Every structure is written in structure tokens, then in C-alpha cells.
């Protein structure tokens, strides 16, 4: 059974001969041909070249030609900051001053949509047996790109305005999804990292209706769908299931075994959740093979697709993804090769801040990476917005776990979910972005 058929059967809940594998490679595949992320994301020929090379090396059953959640936002007026080692980041918010509902629609000729459609068509023609994923920015994250961090206060102060903005964003990304379907995509995934940052009540109020509408539209077109959320989405797994996607994709913050009990109960496939940093970025090929084998053993083959928790970091060694592909296709041979392998703890020793004797309040935001993780970026932005009125009395530091010393920090303070925020060494917020007002209250309490 080839990759596309394998994934289709897994999505239907039918028996499959082995676990399907989908590497959400994103900017990482630029390395395969010596390009920067910026070069690849802005050039159709380079992107196509990298996609073909990734398919050849990683032995996937499904792939996405483009993993960039800023495509729609850029067209709708957000400025982007471009980097050589990550996808671009939204750096301006056209609705920041006033929450008004835009009327613009995205056309096939707008922004980088023609580039994406071109690569999709070429990849589909070259690799028809690989399930091609089309990724759209989820409506809540897109609304946040347009409105900025103000949207978290709007959810309390202007419920109708937020509902209208999210509804508009759902309509926009549904139309973009239609373009991807026309280009030959086999699965449409709505990627909405900020869903992990809101409560189930907030999900019900603002997202249940638009997401139910989005996935119903995909079903009407005969198109399988996936609801992809980064961060600790544990509290929202069941509300997500109730919107009726065919698959829910989660990252390492979620206990996937427990989550699968919920997805199974709703007849939904689950995808995930290899560790992005500890394993895929900083681990060895054997670490990645071991993680893949252990995850496949825990999950079985029914309604499960093996994948990273989100898009793979730019600097993750190709050998690590190759190793996962080997574990998927030849699990018994890999098991034998790993029999004597013992993983090493390579985290450095670090000196913790002397919180008691600081002459300023230290706000530490522990992130995956604020440039690549939308939830992380908005938590950092909230911290900076809260701190700016205090001048040098408050210092904000981002601790991205892309760096080993920050992984050691995470271990020392006992964090298990990201993004998280600490004030003078005390954990205050875990996978929930606070309002600026709430964080200022906590900062002023620490000043006493």
C-alpha cells in the first residue's frame, strides 16, 4: 500500500499494514539543497527542489509543500520579518488600532499563493502516491495576526467583534483551502497554534461554530481534513473533536495516549508527536529512531499517523528524519540495531539567576522559539507590552529551548509545557497567554 492510500485508510479508521509517517519539515528542507529558509520560501523552483529531495531522503507517506502560517496574513496587510533559518514572522498588525472587520478576499494571484499552487501542482505530478497536505493558517491565529495581542482582551471586552473577525478569517482560509484542493491536495490542515492558549469555554464561544463550518465544507468537497494545534491543547482536545475534523494533530505538550482515548471515542485519527527540540534538533539518529519505535509501540496502527509535533526546526539534522523513516519502514531491523544503544544526557550545567537579590523584576518567557511558534511570539509580545511602562525596573528575557542551556533551565524549574512565563523565578502562566493587565498586577506584586 503506497503512502497516500495508507494515510487515507488511517483517516477512515480502517486497518493498515504499518504506521503512516508525515514529516512536517517546513524550513528544514532548505538545508538539503544549501538554501536559506528565506530563499526557499520565496522561490518556487527552490521550494520544489527541496520538497523532491525531502521525499527522496525521508521516505514519507505524506508531505506538505509549504509550512508557513504567515502567507494569508501577509496578503491581508501584515508586515513580515524574514529570516535565514525560520519561516517569516508577522511583525505588524493592521487592526491593532481598531477592531474592524476587513472585507478583502484572497485571490489566486495574491502574494505567494501562485508560488504555492505552482509547487503543489508540480509535486503532485511528480509524486502522485504521496499524500499532499495543504496547510492554511487557522482562523484564530490569523485573527491574532491581524489584531495582535489586543485580541486576548477583546475576548472579554468585545465578544461580538472577535466572533465577527474569526468568522471572516474562517471564510478567507476556506477559500484558500479551495485553491489548494484545485491544485491537487489530498488533505487540508488548519494549523492554529493559539487554540492551545484559550480555555474550553473560550473555544466554545469563539471557535466551535467557525471550525465546524470549515470542516463541514471540507467534507462536502470529499476532502479529508486535519485540525493541527501546537502547545498544550489537552484541555481543548474534546472541543476540537466536536468540530468533526478527520484528524487532530498535536505536539509533545499533550499526552498522546490519553488524547487518543478521546479521538477514538469520536472516530477521529490522531497525529503526532515526536519531540521537536530534545529529539529532532538536539538528539542523535538513534534517539530519533528510538523515539519513533516507542511511539509506534504505544499507539499501534489504528487511527494513528506518526509525525513531529510541529514543523521541524531548520537546523535539525537530515539524518534524524532519515532515521525516523527507517524506523517506520523497517521497525524490526531498527529495534535490533538499537538493542545496545544508551542515550546520553548532553544538557549543560547552568547557573540560575539570583532571583532574591535582583534589583529589577525578571520576566522570563520560556518558548519553543518566538520566531516560529505563534503562541510563543504572542506571549513574548504580551510580556514586552506589560513591561514597557516600567523602564529598567523590569527586564524581559526569552528562553528559547532551541538552545541547550534553556532546556537545562526548563529541567531545573520543572516546566513540562510551553510557552510558559515566570516572574522572578515563579511560574505564573503555562500555555495560556495572560492579558497585559494581569501580568502587570503580577509584576507590581513582585516589586513589593
pLDDT at residue 84 is higher than 80:
yes
Q: Is 3-338 a CATH 3.20.20.70 domain? A: no
Predicted confidence band at 347 (pLDDT cuts at 50, 70, 90)? Answer: confident
Contact 139, 214 (CB under 8 A): yes
Beta bridge partners of 48: none
Predicted pLDDT of residue 425: 96
pLDDT-above-70 percentage for the chain: 100
Please state, in angstroms and rounded to a whole number, the distance separating the CA atoms of residues 27 and 37: 5
What integer is the mean pLDDT of 359-378?
92
pLDDT-above-90 percentage for the chain: 92
Burial label, 315 (beta-carbon count in 10 A; 0-12, 13-18, 19+)? middle
Higher pLDDT pick, 363 / 373: 363
DSSP label at residue 195: G
Non-local (6+) Cβ contacts of 45 within 8 A are none
Predicted pLDDT of residue 275: 94
Predicted confidence band at 409 (pLDDT cuts at 50, 70, 90)? Answer: very high
Please state, in angstroms and rounded to a whole number, the distance separating the CA atoms of residues 22 and 37: 20
Q: What is the pLDDT of residues 125-138, one digit of tens each?
A: 999 999 999 999 99
Predicted confidence band at 417 (pLDDT cuts at 50, 70, 90)? Answer: confident
What's the whole-model pTM score?
0.90
Q: What is the pLDDT of residues 189-227, one digit of tens each?
A: 999 999 999 999 999 999 999 999 999 999 999 999 999
Q: What is the pLDDT of residues 137-146, one digit of tens each?
A: 999 999 999 9
What integer is the mean pLDDT of 253-265?
97
pLDDT at residue 265 is higher than 90:
yes
What integer is the mean pLDDT of 354-377?
92
Predicted pLDDT of residue 416: 82
DSSP assignment string, 345-369: --PPP-PPP-GGG-SSEEEEEEES-
361-447 has the same fold as 3-338: no
Contact 83, 146 (CB under 8 A): no
DSSP label at residue 302: T
The domain locations on the chain are 3-338, 361-447
Ramachandran area for residue 430 (φ above 0: left; ψ -120 to 50: alpha; else beta): beta
What integer is the mean pLDDT of 148-167?
96
Predicted confidence band at 368 (pLDDT cuts at 50, 70, 90)? Answer: confident
Predicted confidence band at 365 (pLDDT cuts at 50, 70, 90)? Answer: very high
Report the Cα 430 to chain-centroid distance in Å.
17
Between strands 420-423 and 426-430, the pairing is: antiparallel
Q: What is the mean pLDDT of the chain?
A: 96
What integer is the mean pLDDT of 374-387?
93
74, three cell numbers: 501577509
pLDDT at residue 246 is higher than 80:
yes
What integer is the mean pLDDT of 344-367?
92
Predicted pLDDT of residue 171: 98
Ramachandran area for residue 13 (φ above 0: left; ψ -120 to 50: alpha; else beta): left
Residue 151: name the closest of 366, 372, 310, 375 by CA: 375
Q: What is the pLDDT of residues 385-401, one digit of tens each?
A: 999 999 999 999 999 98
Please state, in angstroms and rounded to a whole number, the distance separating the CA atoms of residues 108 and 116: 10
Q: What is the pLDDT of residues 4-25, one digit of tens each?
A: 999 999 999 999 999 999 999 8
What integer is the mean pLDDT of 151-177?
97
Q: What is the pLDDT of residues 38-77, one digit of tens each?
A: 999 999 999 999 999 999 999 999 999 999 999 999 999 9
Predicted pLDDT of residue 25: 86
Predicted confidence band at 113 (pLDDT cuts at 50, 70, 90)? Answer: very high
Torsion of CA 106, 110, 113, 115, to 10 degrees: 170
Predicted confidence band at 345 (pLDDT cuts at 50, 70, 90)? Answer: confident
Neighbours of 239 (CB within 10 A): 20
Please state, in angstroms and rounded to a whole number, the distance separating the CA atoms of residues 163 and 206: 6
Predicted pLDDT of residue 343: 82
pLDDT at residue 346 is higher than 80:
no
Please state, in angstroms and rounded to a whole number, the distance separating the CA atoms of residues 76 and 53: 32
Return the exposure string of 22-60: e unless at least 16 CB atoms fall within 10 Å of the residue's CB, then b.
Answer: bbbbbbbbbbbeebbbbbbbeebebbbbbbbebbebbbb
Please state, in angstroms and rounded to a whole number, the distance separating the CA atoms of residues 60 and 272: 14
State how far the alpha carbon of 268 is from the alpha carbons of 25, 188, 193, 200, in Å.
Answer: 24, 15, 19, 19
Domain 361-447 sits in which CATH superfamily? Glutaredoxin (3.40.30.10)
Predicted confidence band at 83 (pLDDT cuts at 50, 70, 90)? Answer: very high
pLDDT at residue 287 is higher than 90:
yes
Neighbours of 13 (CB within 10 A): 14
Amino acid at each position: 500500500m503506497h503512502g497516500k492510500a495508507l494515510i487515507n485508510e488511517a483517516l477512515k479508521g480502517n486497518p493498515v499494514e504499518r504506521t503512516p509517517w508525515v514529516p512536517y519539515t517546513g524550513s528544514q528542507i532548505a538545508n538539503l539543497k544549501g538554501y536559506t529558509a528565506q530563499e526557499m520560501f520565496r522561490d518556487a523552483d527552490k521550494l520544489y527542489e527541496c520538497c523532491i529531495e525531502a521525499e527522496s531522503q525521508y521516505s514519507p507517506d505524506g508531505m506538505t509543500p509549504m509550512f508557513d502560517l504567515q502567507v494569508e496574513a501577509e496578503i491581508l496587510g501584515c508586515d513580515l520579518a524574514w529570516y535565514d533559518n525560520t519561516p517569516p514572522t508577522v511583525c505588524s498588525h493592521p487592526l491593532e488600532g481598531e477592531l474592524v472587520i476587513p472585507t478583502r478576499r484572497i485571490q489566486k494571484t495574491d502574494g505567494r499563493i501562485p508560488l504555492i499552487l505552482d509547487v503543489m501542482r508540480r509535486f503532485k505530478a511528480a509524486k502522485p502516491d504521496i499524500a499532499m497536505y495543504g496547510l492554511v493558517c487557522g482562523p484564530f491565529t490569523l485573527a491574532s495576526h491581524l489584531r495582535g495581542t489586543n485580541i486576548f482582551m477583546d475576548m472579554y471586552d468585545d465578544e461580538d467583534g472577535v466572533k465577527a473577525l474569526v468568522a471572516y478569517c474562517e471564510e478567507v482560509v476556506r477559500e484558500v483551502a479551495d485553491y489548494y484542493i484545485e491544485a491537487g491536495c489530498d488533505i487540508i490542515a488548519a494549523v492554529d497554534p493559539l487554540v492551545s492558549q484559550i480555555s474550553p469555554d473560550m473555544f466554545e464561544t469563539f471557535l466551535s461554530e467557525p471550525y465546524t463550518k470549515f470542516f463541514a465544507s471540507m467534507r462536502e468537497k470529499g476532502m479529508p481534513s486535519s485540525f493541527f494545534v501546537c502547545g498544550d491543547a489537552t484541555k481543548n482536545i474534546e472541543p476540537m473533536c466536536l468540530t468533526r475534523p478527520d484528524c487532530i494533530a498535536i505536539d509533545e505538550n499533550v499526552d498522546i495516549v490519553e488524547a487518543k482515548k478521546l479521538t477514538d471515542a469520536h472516530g477521529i485519527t490522531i497525529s503526532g508527536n515526536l519531540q521537536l527540540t530534545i529529539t529532532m534538533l538536539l538528539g542523535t539518529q538513534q534517539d530519533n529512531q528510538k523515539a519513533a519505535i516507542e511511539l509506534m509501540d504505544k499507539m499501534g496502527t489504528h487511527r494513528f499517523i506518526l509525525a513531529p509535533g510541529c514543523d521541524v526546526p531548520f537546523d535539525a539534522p537530515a539524518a534524524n528524519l532519515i532515521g525516523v523513516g527507517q524506523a517506520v519502514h523497517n521497525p524490526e531491523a531498527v529495534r535490533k540495531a538499537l538493542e545496545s544503544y544508551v542515550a546520553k544526557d548532553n544538557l549543560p550545567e547552568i547557573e540560575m539567576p539570583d532571583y532574591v537579590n535582583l534589583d529589577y523584576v525578571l520576566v522570563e518567557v520560556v518558548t519553543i522559539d518566538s520566531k516560529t511558534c505563534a503562541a510563543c511570539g504572542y506571549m513574548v509580545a504580551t510580556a514586552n507590552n506589560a513591561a514597557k511602562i516600567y523602564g529598567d525596573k523590569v527586564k524581559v528575557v526569552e528562553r528559547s529551548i532551541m538552545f541547550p542551556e534553556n532546556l537545562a533551565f526548563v529541567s531545573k524549574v520543572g516546566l513540562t509545557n510551553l510557552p510558559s512565563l515566570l516572574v522572578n523565578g515563579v511560574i505564573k502562566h503555562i500555555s495560556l497567554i495572560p492579558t497585559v493587565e494581569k501580568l502587570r498586577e503580577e509584576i507590581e506584586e513582585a516589586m513589593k
